[in-house]
Amino acid sequence: MTEQNFSSMRNAMVESQLRTSDVDDPRVIAVMARVPREAYVPADRRAMAYVDRSVPLSAGRALNPPLATGRLLKEAHVAQGDRVLLIGAATGYSAALLAELGAAVTAVEEDGGAEIMVQGVTVVRGSLAAGAPAGAPYDLLFVDGAVEEVPAALVQQLVDGGRVVTGIVDRGVTRLCSGRVVAGVLGLSSLTDTEMVTLPGFAAPARFTF
């Protein structure tokens, strides 16, 4: 597969997956047209880099479909200089996109995950649900996947008024959600159903019912 092939595939992704599915922010379109997604996919799966589905990685993890990444970036409204806490960095693709949009990114991934090589991105190894409190406070929490619940430990790492984008697993359906933290309380709004990888370690606590 040549660089020209990948460039054509990247353009096709933008035109057929993003522009046709409500990813209409010019900055998001531009950065996803520029950053080589194939560089963040295992060598033996690079032919899958631009397909409209998740790409399997190691240890049961996967890279989000391009559309899920594009929708998260659109709803994140990343501004130059934003301090971003990225949860579930995987191979670093979303970290690279956020950095290209001008954010200062702290990317959290579990120990033993793929090597992440993104210029200007701080990588923290450890529990995804714990975040990176040493670098707090952050302007934006970018959860690169779907979780059953956003833990209070992550919410507490945001500034008042901080933004959150994430996928939420609701009775087996994955929904893209966005919201803000006000006075320490996170309010999320559901935007659309979408295919998104599920991140480990975010099961909602069991609730007692009569």
Average pLDDT over residues 137-166: 97
Average pLDDT over residues 59-77: 93
CATH 3.40.50.150 is the classification of domain 53-193: yes
pLDDT of residue 208: 52
Model confidence at 114: pLDDT above 90: no
pLDDT of residue 1: 61
pLDDT of residue 82: 98
Q: Rounded CA gap, 67 and 52, in Å?
A: 7
Confidence of residue 207 (pLDDT cuts 50, 70, 90): low
List, for residues 160-193, the tens digit of each pLDDT value: 999 999 999 988 899 999 999 999 999 999 999 9
State if pTM tops 0.95. Answer: no
Contact 97, 86 (CB under 8 A): no
List the domain boundaries for the chain.
53-193
Averaged pLDDT of the chain: 92
Structure-token match 């589905």, residue found: 53
List, for residues 1-53, the tens digit of each pLDDT value: 677 699 999 999 999 999 998 899 999 999 999 999 999 999 999 999 999 99
pLDDT of residue 203: 78
Q: Rounded CA gap, 25 and 182, in Å?
A: 26
Beta bridge partner(s), residue 180 = 163, 187
Beta strands in 53-102 (DSSP E): 55-56, 62-63, 83-87
Lowest mean pLDDT among 57-66, 133-142, 151-160, 170-179: 57-66
Q: Rounded CA gap, 38 and 10, in Å?
A: 9
Model confidence at 80: pLDDT above 60: yes
